[in-house]
Structure 1
Amino acid sequence: MLARLPSRPLLALGAAIAAVATTGSLTYSLGLGFAPCELCWYQRVLMYPLVGVLSYAWYTRDTGVYRLVLPFSVAGTALAAYQSYLQVVAGGTCALGGCATVYVRPVTIPNQSLLAFCLLTGLMAVLLVRARRP
């Protein structure tokens, strides 16, 4: 279904996902007082710039933005997957901080980050495949 959408709505969806993830992480830390662990900080470094990059790509209709976004989203996916793995292995806690013990229905904060990065990676993969078509 996403593969049939024109590129501009995909860019808007990517910008919205990045904006929601950024707003959510700031709400958790600044609004609710959940201190982010070291892995959370790295994921923030990878997510926050994507709001501006994808918004600008939507505005300029730049479908080649996947070249810039994919390294960020793939690295973020790997970090979030690792943190989610640590959470399972450590029995519901994150060895690097308390963020993984916070359940925000129905998933933990690291799992929410994993979902956002996976969605962004998928959207950028669609743009990549479109660009590679003859």
Structure 2
Amino acid sequence: MMKKAESHQLYLYLAWIVSIVATLGSLYFSEIQGFIPCELCWYQRILMYPLVLFLGISTFQNDITIKKYVLPMAVIGWFISLFHYFEQKIPGFAKIKPCAGEVPCNGEYINWLGFITIPFLALAAFSFIIILMFFLPSAKNKRTNKS
């Protein structure tokens, strides 16, 4: 059976792996496939890319206090991804906030199985990270457990 500290490190490690896969996936789509990111894609990248560094360091330090920094970034990224996905999949939703960039935010470079698009992949990654962060105890609980 796993000790609590080992399970906490496992959650950090899994969240770090998810952030790495999401970052490499976005770089693959833009740098190898040549897909130009839209404005909302950039916002999602701005929130995902630092998570690789934050979660990587905290994984090797076994520092669960990173939760207070990762969780807000992941939740904001989740909402941006959800909004972006709605722009792609709900007719008329794109008119709420027209994209200012060269690439329209309601465009779909990929559409696997009729529902998996790039914002959906980002939404899934942010969701996994959020769930894994909720498995970590808060720093307040960590101090209470030590005394």
1:76 corresponds to which residue?
A: 77
Aligned to 2:109: 102
Deviation at 1:23, TM superposition (A): 0.3
Per-residue deviation, 1:88:
1.5
Match of 2:120 among 87, 107, 111: 111
Q: In the TM superposition, what is the alpha-carbon distance from 1:87 to its structure 2 partner?
A: 1.0
Could you tell me how far apart the structure 1 residues matched to 2:61 and 2:19 are? Answer: 18
What's 1:122 paired with?
131
**CA–CA distance in structure 2, aligned partners of residues 128 and 75 of structure 1:** 21
5 Å matches for 1:6-85? 6-85=7-86
Alpha-carbon shift at residue 114 of structure 1 (Å): 0.3
The alpha-carbon distance between structure 1 residues 55 and 125, as it changes in their structure 2 partners (threshold 3 A), is same
Contact 1:100 1:108 in 2 (8 A): no
- Structure 1: tracts of 5 or more residues without a match: none
Most deviating of 124-133 and 77-86: 124-133
Sequence identity of aligned pairs in percent? 34
| Residues 99 and 110, structure 1, Cα contact 8 Å, conserved in 2 | no
Cα displacement (A) at 1:105: 3.0
Structure 2: give runs of 5+ residues left out of the alignment: none
Aligned-residue Cα RMSD (Å) equals 2.5
1:102 deviates by: 1.9
State the 1:45 CA deviation.
0.3
Look at both structures and tell me which one has the larger radius of gyration over its CA atoms.
Answer: 2
TM-score, length of structure 2 as denominator length: 0.79
> Higher helix share goes to which structure?
1
